[in-house]
Structure 1
Amino acid sequence: MLPTGALSISEVSPRVARAWALAAGLAALLWTIIVVSGWTDGFDRALMIRAEALRSAQPWLVRPAWLVTRAGDGEARVVFALLVGLALWRAGKGGRALWLWLSVGSGLLLVPLLKMLIDRPRPDLVVHLDKVSNASYPSGHMAGATILGMSLLLVLPRGPVRLALLIYMLLVGLSRVLMGVHWPSDVMGGFLVGACWALALYGLLGTIERWTTTRVSRASR
């Protein structure tokens, strides 16, 4: 069970969260336009070549990168969200558990739709060290890790977990470039999309908590 002190909700108000969500959404839209227009091609190719040189010079990095990228898989994110959600539920925070599951679950539907709409090809400069089956932009691993990480930062904002979540998001993004399956701009796009989605859904937390409290009150009568 999670300690009560760790369940204190972030001091970020829904109004502030909506403002940040709007800013992240506009940044994601602008970045997408820049990427689709080809303005990041030189930047992307230069960094991909550097990533290839790094993994050739330091082959031991490939295995840790593969493990990190597995931690960013949709299945891993769902399992982690389920476990944290169950802990929240047992601690009497059912509304936050439902909100966390909604955030992570809806992200699994959002990113494939964006990939289909933008349909950017995967990197063609280096050998792929991971299996891929859909388009490149935005990075689904990065978007999903950001949605999970930011959602947990809002629900579990105190203690060393904050730093661990930030490191998790950063490493997942870096691993996708090192594995050769995403352009760096895909990772940035995934971060912006994930941040926008998590912050936008934060506004629903109060409503879900009130609904959950009402349901529990009625069931206890």
Structure 2
Amino acid sequence: MTGVAFGIFLKKTFGFIRPHHAPMLGEEAATSFPSGHALLASLLLFSIAFAVLRCASPAGRFRVGALAFGSAAALSLLVGLSRVHLGLHWPTDVVAGWAAGAGWALLFSLVFVGQKRELASGAK
């Protein structure tokens, strides 16, 4: 939910217009920076990758992490490329969406790990 609000905040802050050949669907759909699809795809997929990595055993952590983050990157890449291919976003919109989504997922992962450590130390 916070990722959606973050994306809307960024769109309203920058207010960049879509490519000239993109169909205009309404006032909210007229802004393009950052790509909401790219942002939410990377946010969701990298959040899942962080959760998978956290559940992996120490012995297989590298392989599991490589698969999880590689899959997240590949699927996010496909979502972003489709937005550019359809003419709905500039490439910079998509790159900003990827960065914002992955950064938001990293931030929440770090916050969650910090809370988990506090809970574990308080329980002793």
Is it true that 1:121 corresponds to 2:17 in the alignment? yes
What is the TM-score with the length of structure 1 in the denominator?
Answer: 0.43
The residue aligned with 2:8 is: 112
Cα distance in structure 2, aligned partners of 1:181 and 1:165: 22
Q: Deviation of residue 197 (structure 1)?
A: 1.4
- Give the % identical residues: 32
User: Which residue, out of 164, 170, 192, partners 2:99?
Assistant: 192
The structural deviation recorded for 1:195 is 2.1
Deviation string for 1:162-184 (max 9, x for gaps)? 43322210000001111111011
Matches within 5 A, 1:44-123: 105-123=1-19
- Counterpart in the other structure of 2:56: none
- What is the distance in 2 between the residues matched to 1:111 and 1:207? 25
Structure 2 unaligned residues grouped into runs of 5+: 54-63
Residue pair 2:46, 2:69 contacting (<8 A) in 1 also: no
CA-based RMSD: 2.6
Task: Please name the residue that 1:14 is paired with.
Answer: none
Which position in structure 1 is the counterpart of 2:86? 179
Q: Is the 8 A contact 2:18 2:88 kept in 1?
A: yes
The change in CA–CA distance for 1:181 and 1:108 in structure 2 (over 3 A counts) is same
Number of matched pairs: 109
5+ unaligned residues in a row in structure 1: which ranges? 1-104
TM-score, length-scaled by structure 2:
0.73
